[in-house]
């Protein structure tokens, strides 16, 4: 039996998913990944090799801040939080993504 194929992310989508996930409040990296997977009904899985470099780029861009804390299983973890600039970026990313999806749907319906 074949495993279901996990869709590849469109450029910029990973940022949008992380920003949206953190809009509810600060989380550590593993919790971000887990929440995205659960929210997508297991359809989207973000590997550490993609997640942590993206988080670091987002810190540099000023979209996130991070501070050390203790996770739910009593381990030291870095917790990420949206900045005001990150919230603005989420609105822009979502708007662009929504326009892209609508355009693709129009082509798929008419082609």
Express each pLDDT in 10-66 by its tens digit. 667 899 999 999 999 999 999 999 999 999 999 898 998 999 999 999 999 999 999
Token representation of residue 11:
């450029």
CB 66 within 8 A of CB 79: yes
- Confidence band of 6 (pLDDT split at 50, 70, 90): low
Query: CA 108, CA 48: separation in Å to the nearest integer?
Result: 33
Using the predicted structure, report yes or no on whether residue 4 has a pLDDT greater than 70. no
CA atoms within 13 A on the CB side of 91: 5
Using the predicted structure, report yes or no on whether residue 7 has a pLDDT greater than 60. no
pTM: 0.85
Among positive and negative, which fits the CA dihedral 72, 77, 83, 88? negative
For residue 67, tell me if it sits in a domain. Answer: yes
Q: How many domains does the chain have?
A: 1
Q: CATH number for the domain including 85?
A: 1.10.10.10
Token representation of residue 51:
């997640």
For residue 40, tell me if it sits in a domain. Answer: yes
């Amino acid at each position: 039996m074949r495993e279901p194929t996990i869709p590849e992310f469109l450029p910029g989508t990973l940022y949008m998913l992380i920003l949206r996930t953190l809009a509810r409040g600060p989380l550590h990296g593993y919790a971000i990944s887990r929440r995205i997977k659960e929210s997508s009904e297991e359809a989207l899985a973000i590997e550490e090799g993609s997640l942590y470099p993206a988080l670091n780029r987002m810190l540099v861009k000023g979209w996130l801040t991070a501070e050390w804390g203790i996770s739910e299983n009593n381990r030291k973890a870095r917790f990420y939080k949206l900045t005001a600039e990150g919230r603005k970026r989420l609105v822009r990313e979502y708007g662009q993504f929504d326009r892209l999806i609508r355009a693709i749907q129009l082509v798929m319906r008419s082609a």
